[in-house]
């Protein structure tokens, strides 16, 4: 099947489309084929929850193998046509659970959040891990409920089969049971594969009921039976046409089945290749471990660098403050230098005035000394004059 091809499937049953007396045409793309066969349109989800899905290891029958990387939706589906309950879970487009509930199944709680059940048809054991015990209990209750419903449906189906095997003798002559029902063509999906679908033959059609010989051949009764015979012939012609069309459909289904088998073989080869590639898991794990260690080291180095950057930012802020302080101090120093120059000028002027004052003082001292000497001379002269006057007075 090419990637761009589309698949046309005609389902058995009555068609409402004009020009189609039998079958319902469905066009599927390759990505939709898997979903079509695992989740048919006639099924509806009746309960859904989320859980981690596991399957028993087919080799050891002891260990659990996870089939989903994370919690996925697990749903109960009900097929109203066949009265069948199924548990289905999809991981993307891959069906990781496709289990039909039968009366013989049992759901077992193995822990507070884990439960399991065995599916003999799939030849495996499914396990579900829930987030809470309440979800596990709810799922187990639904399992028991649908298991009982499946048992009742099976009993009713058995009763219908018994009634069909012993038909009533009171059926009207014109009532004809058509064997071309969806059940007779499809069969039970769980019990019959597409290869085992029986091909109806013309000999399997029921013969018209014989006309009773005890009735009188009046014109009214004759016309009545002629009409009944014409109706039976018409029904027989319709059934024959439907049978031929169903035979053609069965051939088409066989061709599609062969295509599906080829596709399944190709997928099987692909799975084998992937299993061979999975032998490199240990190397990938070791590389992943080394990468994780390298990432941790780089994160630690990055953290150190970020701390160093923060420290450098703080130092830059401090340096800016110091620069501002330096500029302020430089301005103050310049002002101080100007003030010192002014004070030096004033000091020079004061020194010069002091020198002048000292010179003047020295001159004053000299003049004062000279004046004192003159004064001493004058005082001496006055003393002599006083002495002479005293002598003069004494002599007089």
Q: Are residues 68 and 141 in the same domain?
A: yes
Six-digit token string for 43: 């099924």
Most confident by average pLDDT, 27-41, 109-123, 221-235, 241-255? 109-123
pLDDT of residue 11: 41
Percent of the chain with pLDDT over 70: 73
State which residues form the domain around 110.
47-159
Q: What's the number of domains the chain is made of?
A: 2
Q: Are residues 235 and 338 in the same domain?
A: yes
Asked whether residue 197 carries a pLDDT value surpassing 50, the answer given is no
Most confident by average pLDDT, 56-65, 241-250, 282-291, 325-334? 325-334
Q: What is the pLDDT of residues 15-33, one digit of tens each?
A: 444 333 334 444 444 444 4
The b-or-e profile of 231-261 (16+ CB within 10 A means b, else e) is ebeeeeeebeebbebbeebbeebeebeeebe
Q: What is the pLDDT of residues 339-388, one digit of tens each?
A: 999 999 999 999 999 999 999 999 999 999 999 999 999 999 999 999 99
Q: How far apart (Å, rounded) are the C-alpha atoms in residues 226 and 222? A: 6
Sign of the torsion formed by the C-alpha atoms of 111, 114, 117 and 122: negative
Q: Looking at 109, 141, 159, which one is the last position of a domain? A: 159
Q: Tell me whether residue 188 is in a domain.
A: no
Q: Tell me whether residue 74 is in a domain.
A: yes
Residues 84-105: what's their mean pLDDT? 89
Q: Tell me whether residue 198 is in a domain.
A: no
**Phi, psi dihedral angles at 138 (to 5 degrees):** -60, -45
How high is the mean pLDDT of the chain?
A: 76
Q: Are residues 244 and 315 in the same domain?
A: yes
Lowest mean pLDDT: which of 6-20, 36-50, 57-71, 188-202? 188-202
Q: Which of the two residues, 107 and 154, has the higher pLDDT score?
A: 107
Find the CATH number of the domain harbouring 124.
2.30.29.30
Residues 208-225: what's their mean pLDDT? 55
Q: Looking at 328, 347, 366, which one is the last position of a domain? A: 347
Q: How many helices (H) and strands (E) does the chain have?
A: 5, 10
Q: Are residues 139 and 227 in the same domain?
A: no
Q: Looking at 138, 159, 180, which one is the last position of a domain? A: 159
Q: Tell me whether residue 113 is in a domain.
A: yes
Q: Where residue 224 falls among pLDDT bands split at 50, 70, 90?
A: confident
Q: Tell me whether residue 353 is in a domain.
A: no
Q: How far apart (Å, rounded) are the C-alpha atoms in residues 213 and 79? A: 47
Q: Tell me whether residue 256 is in a domain.
A: yes
Asked whether residue 265 carries a pLDDT value surpassing 80, the answer given is yes
Six-digit token string for 88: 């289905």
Q: Are residues 62 and 134 in the same domain?
A: yes
Q: How far apart (Å, rounded) are the C-alpha atoms in residues 146 and 76? A: 9
Answer for the pair 102, 119: CB distance below 8 angstroms, yes or no: no
Q: Are residues 249 and 327 in the same domain?
A: yes
pLDDT of residue 163: 66
Q: Tell me whether residue 116 is in a domain.
A: yes
Residues 169-182: what's their mean pLDDT? 36
Q: How far apart (Å, rounded) are the C-alpha atoms in residues 88 and 145? A: 17
Asked whether residue 329 carries a pLDDT value surpassing 60, the answer given is yes
Q: Are residues 155 and 235 in the same domain?
A: no
Q: Tell me whether residue 253 is in a domain.
A: yes
Q: How far apart (Å, rounded) are the C-alpha atoms in residues 277 and 271? A: 10
pLDDT of residue 169: 38
Asked whether residue 232 carries a pLDDT value surpassing 80, the answer given is yes
Asked whether residue 208 carries a pLDDT value surpassing 60, the answer given is no
């Amino acid at each position: 099947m090419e990637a761009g091809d589309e698949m046309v499937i005609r389902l058995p049953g009555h068609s409402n489309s004009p020009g189609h007396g039998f079958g319902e045409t469905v066009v599927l793309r390759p990505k939709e084929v898997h979903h079509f066969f695992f989740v048919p349109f006639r099924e509806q989800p009746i309960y859904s929850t989320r859980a981690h899905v596991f399957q028993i290891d087919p080799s050891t029958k002891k260990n659990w193998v996870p089939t989903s990387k994370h919690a996925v939706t697990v749903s109960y589906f009900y097929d109203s046509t066949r009265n069948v309950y199924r548990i289905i879970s999809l991981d993307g487009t891959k069906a990781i659970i496709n289990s039909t509930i039968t009366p013989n199944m049992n759901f077992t709680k193995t822990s507070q959040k884990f439960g399991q059940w065995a599916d003999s048809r799939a030849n495996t054991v499914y396990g579900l891990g829930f987030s809470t015990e309440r979800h596990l209990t709810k799922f187990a209750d639904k399992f028991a409920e649908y298991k009982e419903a499946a048992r009742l449906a099976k009993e009713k189906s058995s009763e219908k089969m018994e009634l069909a095997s012993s038909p009533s003798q009171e059926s009207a002559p014109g009532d004809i049971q058509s064997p071309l029902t969806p059940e007779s063509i499809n069969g039970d999906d769980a019990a019959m594969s597409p290869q085992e679908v029986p091909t109806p033959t013309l000999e399997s059609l029921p013969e018209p009921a014989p006309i009773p010989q005890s009735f009188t051949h009046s014109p009214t009764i004759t016309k009545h039976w002629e009409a009944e015979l014409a109706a039976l012939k018409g029904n027989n012609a319709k059934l024959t046409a439907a049978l031929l069309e169903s035979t053609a459909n069965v051939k088409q289904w066989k061709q599609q089945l062969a295509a599906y088998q080829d596709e399944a073989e190709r997928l099987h080869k692909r799975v084998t290749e992937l299993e061979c590639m999975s032998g490199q898991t240990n190397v990938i794990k070791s590389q992943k471990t080394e990468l994780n260690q390298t990432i941790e080291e780089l994160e630690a180095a990055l953290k150190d660098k970020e701390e160093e950057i923060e420290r450098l930012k703080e130092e830059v802020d401090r340096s800016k403050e110091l620069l501002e302080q330096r500029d302020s101090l430089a301005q103050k120093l310049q002002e101080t230098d100007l003030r010192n120059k002014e004070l030096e000028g004033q000091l020079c002027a004061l020194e010069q005035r002091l020198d002048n004052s000292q010179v003047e003082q020295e001159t004053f001292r000299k003049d004062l000394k000279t004046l004192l000497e003159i004064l001493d001379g004058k005082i001496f002269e006055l003393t002599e004059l006083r002495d002479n006057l005293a002598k003069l007075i004494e002599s007089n």
